[in-house]
């Protein structure tokens, strides 16, 4: 960091300057507050370290003068003095000091402050970049969008790098309004439920970003992708020496990283049961302990979770705590599947089609009547994500002014009725039970074994093929082993 060091005692100043230089920082020295103020006006510093008691301008007067300049980026101001005076320390902090030290300076304490200042400055820089990027995207969206909610949606989607979500139907307009309302109160946890591909993460980011004021970091965790043994340290961090394989000096967790922002827990039902109780405690007490730590750490993180529509079934099966569920659903958003939002299908199609056509220099600008009928009759098992991917494929494979029925051959035959729209008179496939009673558990076990054979024991691929999480597959395998042990 670039540090402005201010002290009218030469020996004290030189000693501190040498120490800071050895830590890798760039130091500019001043022997008075007046000189320091002029130097500060002409340079950019991450930190100002100043004695309080100086002839002429005092350290407190210096930081008040610096604060009044309103220069960006802002430096963090740290004061020190040889006079142990509580009222003086309070005055320094009220004047805007980031922290306060007493002489003789404890270098461990100083090092800790330097680390915190550096982290704070990095966060200020990241937020500045984020804000500038949003301002740029906002201007672009304002020119093209016809509705305020659509503008917000496009802006967040582009910033987040995820699929677009159109706000065309009344259902989605009301849903986004609710998301913006939740943005105004960071203490309310939000549970977003819906099928895969409906846009749960996009809604989470709308809740987080709100009306584009600086919202703090958005930190996401896929609960299904983390080993249960590492989950606690991933969430809360750990102190040095807490467990074998950890970093010696410890490591911050996602709650630390998300400070002042949002922690997004995707597929919350995959959170191990023992951690569910700890998450509930964090929600209630607004504090947590690191693994191996004794210090209670306050947190102001907003919690947003997602779950599928079988969440309540997981609770009935004892895989999720009902008290945590009730706490999370204080703010609840249910996103209907695309097949239930018919008014969204064609506008989404045209939005994606034009977007991908423009990127690839193609000419699609409208939808033929047969294609429109098919799109409206299609069941969309993959929801908005499937529609987006379909239009990306069309724009890659074809070039036409009009989207035609033959362009949609990549969509799932089962969900499309083999490209036959509803109402054409074609018979649909029906399913029937076998005449003899069946053992459903054994049937499921056979499917699990077959999937594992197909993927040569790769549990991740087997779980994906079966349409379940890896954790659910492990749970099923443990149950199968217990059943086998009982039989033997």
Task: Name the more confident of 201 and 89.
Answer: 201
What is the maximum span of the chain, computed from C-alpha positions, in angstroms?
A: 99
β-strand partners of 221: 265
Highest mean pLDDT among 9-18, 130-139, 157-166, 222-231: 9-18
Task: Name the more confident of 460 and 362.
Answer: 362
Give which of 254, 338, 270, 278 is closest to 305, Cα–Cα: 270
Residue 433 structure tokens:
């039970």
Domains of the chain: 2-123 (3.40.50.2300), 148-334 (3.40.50.300), 338-416 (1.10.8.60), 440-487 (1.10.10)
Q: What is the pLDDT of residues 275-322, one digit of tens each?
A: 899 999 999 999 999 888 888 999 999 999 999 877 888 888 888 999
CA 31 to chain centre: 46
Residue 110 structure tokens:
């100083």
pLDDT (average), residues 437-453: 80
Residue 165 confidence (pLDDT) above 80: no
pLDDT (average), residues 122-134: 75
Least confident of 114-128, 146-160, 319-333, 418-432: 418-432
State the pLDDT at residue 426. 41
State the pLDDT at residue 452. 86
Residue 425 confidence (pLDDT) above 70: no
CB 174, CB 227: distance < 8 Å: no
Task: Name the more confident of 161 and 144.
Answer: 144
Task: Name the more confident of 54 and 164.
Answer: 54
* One-letter-per-residue 3-state SS of the chain: CEEEEECCCHHHHHHHHHHHHHCCCEEEEECCHHHHHHHHHHCCCCEEEEECCCCCCCHHHHHHHHHHHCCCCCCEEEEEECCCCHHHHHHHHHHCCCEEEECCCCHHHHHHHHHHHHHHHHHHHHHHHHHHHHHHHHHHHHHHCCCHHHHHHHHHHHHHCCCCCCCCCHHHHHHHHHHHHHHCCCCCCEEEECCCCCCHHHHHHHHHHCCCCCCCCEEEEEHHHCCCCCHHHHHHEECCCCCCCCCCCCEECHHHHCCCCEEEEECHHHCCHHHHHHHHHHHHHCEECCECCCCCEECCCEEEEEECCCHHHHHHCCCCCHHHHHHHCCEEEECCCHHHCHHHHHHHHHHHHHHHHHHHCCCCCEECHHHHHHHHHCCCCCHHHHHHHHHHHHHHHCCCCEECHHHHCCCCHHHHCCCCCCCCCCCCCCCCCCCCCCCHHHHHHHHHHHHHHHCCCCHHHHHHHHCCCHHHHHHHHHHHHHHHHHHC
Residue 164 confidence (pLDDT) above 80: no
State the pLDDT at residue 407. 92
Q: What is the pLDDT of residues 248-264, one digit of tens each?
A: 677 888 999 999 999 99
Q: What confidence tier does 423 reach under pLDDT thresholds 50, 70, 90?
A: very low
Residue 178 structure tokens:
């609710």
Question: Average pLDDT, whole number, for the chain?
Answer: 82
Q: What confidence tier does 48 reach under pLDDT thresholds 50, 70, 90?
A: very high
Q: What is the pLDDT of residues 61-75, one digit of tens each?
A: 998 899 888 887 788
Residue 421 confidence (pLDDT) above 60: no
Residue 429 confidence (pLDDT) above 50: no
Q: What percent of the chain has pLDDT over 70?
A: 83
Q: What confidence tier does 416 reach under pLDDT thresholds 50, 70, 90?
A: low
Least confident of 97-101, 198-202, 399-403, 424-428: 424-428
Which positions ≥6 away from 251 have C-beta within 8 Å?
233, 237, 238
CB 380, CB 337: distance < 8 Å: yes
Which positions ≥6 away from 205 have C-beta within 8 Å?
156, 159, 160, 162, 218
Q: What confidence tier does 137 reach under pLDDT thresholds 50, 70, 90?
A: low
Least confident of 44-58, 167-181, 235-249: 235-249
State the pLDDT at residue 121. 85
CA terminus-to-terminus distance, the chain: 67
Residue 446 confidence (pLDDT) above 70: yes
Which positions ≥6 away from 245 have C-beta within 8 Å?
none
pLDDT (average), residues 401-411: 90
pLDDT (average), residues 359-377: 92
State the pLDDT at residue 138. 57
């Amino acid at each position: 960091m670039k540090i402005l060091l201010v002290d009218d005692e030469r020996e004290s100043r030189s000693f501190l300057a040498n120490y800071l230089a050895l830590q890798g920082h760039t130091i500019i020295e001043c022997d008075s507050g007046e000189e320091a103020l002029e130097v500060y006006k002409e340079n950019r510093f991450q930190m100002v370290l100043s004695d309080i008691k100086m002839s002429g301008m005092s350290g407190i007067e210096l930081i008040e003068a610096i604060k009044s300049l309103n220069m960006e980026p802002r430096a963090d101001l740290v004061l020190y003095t040889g006079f142990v005076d509580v009222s003086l320390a309070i005055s320094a902090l009220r004047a805007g000091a980031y922290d306060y030290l007493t002489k003789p300076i404890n270098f461990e304490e100083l090092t800790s402050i330097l680390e915190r200042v550096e982290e704070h400055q990095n966060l200020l820089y990241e937020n500045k970049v984020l804000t500038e990027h949003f301002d740029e995207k906002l201007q672009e969206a304002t020119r093209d969008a016809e509705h305020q909610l659509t503008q917000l949606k496009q802006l967040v989607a582009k910033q987040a790098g995820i699929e677009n979500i159109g706000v065309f139907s009344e259902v989605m307009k009301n849903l986004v309004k609710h998301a913006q309302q939740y943005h105004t109160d960071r203490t309310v946890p939000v549970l977003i439920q819906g099928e895969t591909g409906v846009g749960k993460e996009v809604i989470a980011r709308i809740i987080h970003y709100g009306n584009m004021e600086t919202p703090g970091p958005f930190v996401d965790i896929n609960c299904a992708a983390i080993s249960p043994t590492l989950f606690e340290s991933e969430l809360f961090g750990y102190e040095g020496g807490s467990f074998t394989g950890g970093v010696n000096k410890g490591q911050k967790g996602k709650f630390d990283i998300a400070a002042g922002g949002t922690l997004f827990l995707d597929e919350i039902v995959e959170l191990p049961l023992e951690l569910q109780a700890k998450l509930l405690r964090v929600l209630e007490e607004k504090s947590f302990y690191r693994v191996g730590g004794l210090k209670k750490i306050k947190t102001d993180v907003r919690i947003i979770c997602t779950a599928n529509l079988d969440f309540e079934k997981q609770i009935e099966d004892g895989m999720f705590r009902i008290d945590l569920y009730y706490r999370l659903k204080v703010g609840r958003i249910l996103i209907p599947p695309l097949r239930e939002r018919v008014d969204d299908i064609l506008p989404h199609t045209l939005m994606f089609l034009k977007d991908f056509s423009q990127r690839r220099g193609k000419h699609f600008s409208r939808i033929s009547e047969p294609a429109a009928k098919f799109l409206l009759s299609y069941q969309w098992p993959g929801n908005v994500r499937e529609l987006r991917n379909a239009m990306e494929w069309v724009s890659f494979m074809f070039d036409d002014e009009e989207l035609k029925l033959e362009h949609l051959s990549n969509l799932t035959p089962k969900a499309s009725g083999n490209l036959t729209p509803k109402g054409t008179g074609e018979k649909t496939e029906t399913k029937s039970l076998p005449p003899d009673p069946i053992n459903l558990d054994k049937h499921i076990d056979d499917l699990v074994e077959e999937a594992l054979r197909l993927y040569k024991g790769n549990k991740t691929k087997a779980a994906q093929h079966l349409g379940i999480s890896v954790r659910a597959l492990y749970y099923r395998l443990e149950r199968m082993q217990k059943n086998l042990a009982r039989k033997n």
